[in-house]
Amino acid sequence: MRHVLLYDSADDVRSKAPAWLPGHRAHSERFRSDGSLLLIGPFGDPQNQGSMGVFATRQAAEEFARTDPFVLNGVIRRWRVRDWNEATGGI
């Protein structure tokens, strides 16, 4: 079981994100270095499609979102975590 953190971007994310990007990257690296953050990134059109991260635990995904500079500073308007059963070895 993996846990997917989905972010919905705030209005005008392209102008808001740069100010908080260094803090967001440092925040991501902390979670990546302890093995709880597996993948992270925006979808093709971040303004309309948002972004996601894949985490090893639900607790890590929720903690990441609650303490992410993007969330704390209004770059993200809404987040949620969904459980995901990763298919391995084919379908």
51: domain CATH number is 3.30.70.1060
Q: With bands split at pLDDT 50, 70 and 90, how would you rate the model's confidence at 91?
A: low
In a domain, 89, yes or no: no
In a domain, 37, yes or no: yes
Report how far residue 65's alpha carbon sits from residue 15's, in angstroms, rounded to the nearest whole number: 20
In a domain, 91, yes or no: no
User: Tens of pLDDT along 3-12?
Assistant: 999 999 999 9
Domain count for the chain: 1
Per-residue confidence (pLDDT) for residue 86, from 0 to 100: 87
Q: How is the chain split among helix, strand and coil, in percent rounded to 5? A: 45, 30, 25
User: Tens of pLDDT along 15-72?
Assistant: 999 999 999 999 999 999 999 999 999 999 999 999 999 999 999 999 999 999 999 9
Q: Is the pLDDT of residue 84 over 70?
A: yes
Q: 65 is in which domain, residue-wise?
A: 2-84
Per-residue confidence (pLDDT) for residue 88, from 0 to 100: 79
Q: 53 and 64 in contact (C-beta within 8 Å)?
A: yes
Q: 26 and 75 in contact (C-beta within 8 Å)?
A: no
Per-residue confidence (pLDDT) for residue 87, from 0 to 100: 85
In a domain, 23, yes or no: yes
Q: Is the pLDDT of residue 90 over 70?
A: no
In a domain, 63, yes or no: yes
In a domain, 21, yes or no: yes
In a domain, 90, yes or no: no
Q: Tell me the two tokens of residue 88.
A: 């391995």
* 3-state DSSP assignment of residue 70: helix
